Chains A and B, each alone.
Chain A
Amino acid sequence: MANDLILRVVTKWLSPIIILFALYVQFHGDYSPGGGFQAGVIFSSAILLYALTYGLDAALQLIPEYILRIGASLGVLIYGGVGVASMILGGNFLNYSVLGSTPVAGQHLGIIIIELGVGITVASVMVLLFFTFARRVAPE
């Protein structure tokens, strides 16, 4: 597929738009359907599309595997970290109310950060899954 001109051009145009949409879904999830999980999957589909058109090696150059591994762990750590932070500030685990000046501001802040954590982990793991699987298909 890597030689198909139309695919290559379309992918080049489409990938950034998909990523932009993923970011919209990520940060607008409080007001409209969506959130970290959906955004993560959409983001990963942009990388998938790139990998399918330009080949696995090109995609790996774009996002090396170690970054994905770090991302997968980082998301969980961000999420857990928010919980620990709220414990340190005197609330229960994951009680975001203590994070801001008012409980509602704290809640809102906490929700945005943990959604980001969800998004990072999901996007990294989904791309990682695809790369790991796809490597097994490599022609022998």
Chain B
Amino acid sequence: MIEYIIGHINYWLIVAIMMVGLYTLMSRSNLIKKLAGLSMFQTAVILFYVSLGKVTGGTVPIISEKYSLYSNPLPQVLMLTAIVVGVATTALGFALVIRIKEAYNSVEENEISAMDEKE
């Protein structure tokens, strides 16, 4: 039982962070906060992947004569790509927020959809 918990608690905490991120994204009306939530959600997924690659007693995957056990490079490579995709999405999101602010003079989703309804 204890072993099961020790082996899994890392993943459970990551799941909890994902949930907080998604909740921030869905429950908040402020567009910037939504993007922060989105970013947290993505980061938690990235953390999950990198955890998959960890090997106990292993070392950084740079070949050297001193070590024989290395962590898995593949999840790390995938996540480098995912981080870049994440920042690209966030940047585009912020650009949209600036334009929305100029067009609606608000960054609150409630107010904006109320304005859209009126038209």
- Is B84 at the interface (CB under 8 A from chain A)? yes
Q: A33 contacts B60, CB within 8 Å?
A: yes
The total of interchain contacts (Cβ-Cβ below 8 angstroms) comes to 13
Q: B62 contacts A32, CB within 8 Å?
A: yes
Query: Main SS of chain B's interface residues?
Result: helix
Residues 71-108 of chain B: 1 if any A CB is under 8 Å from the residue's CB, otherwise 0? 00000000010001000000100110010000000000
Contacts of A32 in B (CB 8 A): 62
Contacts of A136 in B (CB 8 A): 98
Q: What is the interface size of chain B, counting residues whose CB is below 8 A from a CB of the partner?
A: 8
- Give the distance in Å from the alpha carbon of A129 to the alpha carbon of B91 in the complex: 8
Q: A37 contacts B84, CB within 8 Å?
A: yes
| Given A133-B94, A133-B95, residue A31 in contact with residue B62 (CB < 8 A) | yes
Q: A37 contacts B80, CB within 8 Å?
A: yes
- What residue of chain B has the Cβ atom nearest to residue A35's Cβ? B80
Contacts of B84 in A (CB 8 A): 37, 122
Smallest CB–CB gap between B71 and chain A, Å?
12
- Give the distance in Å from the alpha carbon of A129 to the alpha carbon of B60 in the complex: 32
Smallest CB–CB gap between B30 and chain A, Å?
18
Contacts of A129 in B (CB 8 A): 91
- Give the distance in Å from the alpha carbon of A132 to the alpha carbon of B99 in the complex: 12
Q: B98 contacts A133, CB within 8 Å?
A: yes
- Give the distance in Å from the alpha carbon of A33 to the alpha carbon of B64 in the complex: 13
Smallest CB–CB gap between A42 and chain B, Å?
14
- Give the distance in Å from the alpha carbon of A39 to the alpha carbon of B98 in the complex: 28
Instruction: Choose among A32, A129, A132 the residue with the greatest number of B CB atoms under 10 Å from its CB.
Output: A129
**Further pairs besides A31-B62, A132-B95: 11, Cβ < 8 Å:** A32-B62, A33-B60, A33-B62, A37-B80, A37-B84, A122-B84, A129-B91, A133-B94, A133-B95, A133-B98, A136-B98
Measuring CB to CB, which residues of chain A are less than 8 angstroms from any residue of chain B? 31-33, 37, 122, 129, 132-133, 136
Measuring CB to CB, which residues of chain B are less than 8 angstroms from any residue of chain A? 60, 62, 80, 84, 91, 94-95, 98
Closest 6 CB pairs of A and B: A129-B91, A136-B98, A37-B84, A37-B80, A32-B62, A133-B94
Q: Please, could you name 13 A-B residue pairs with CB atoms under 8 Å apart, sorted by A? A: A31-B62, A32-B62, A33-B60, A33-B62, A37-B80, A37-B84, A122-B84, A129-B91, A132-B95, A133-B94, A133-B95, A133-B98, A136-B98
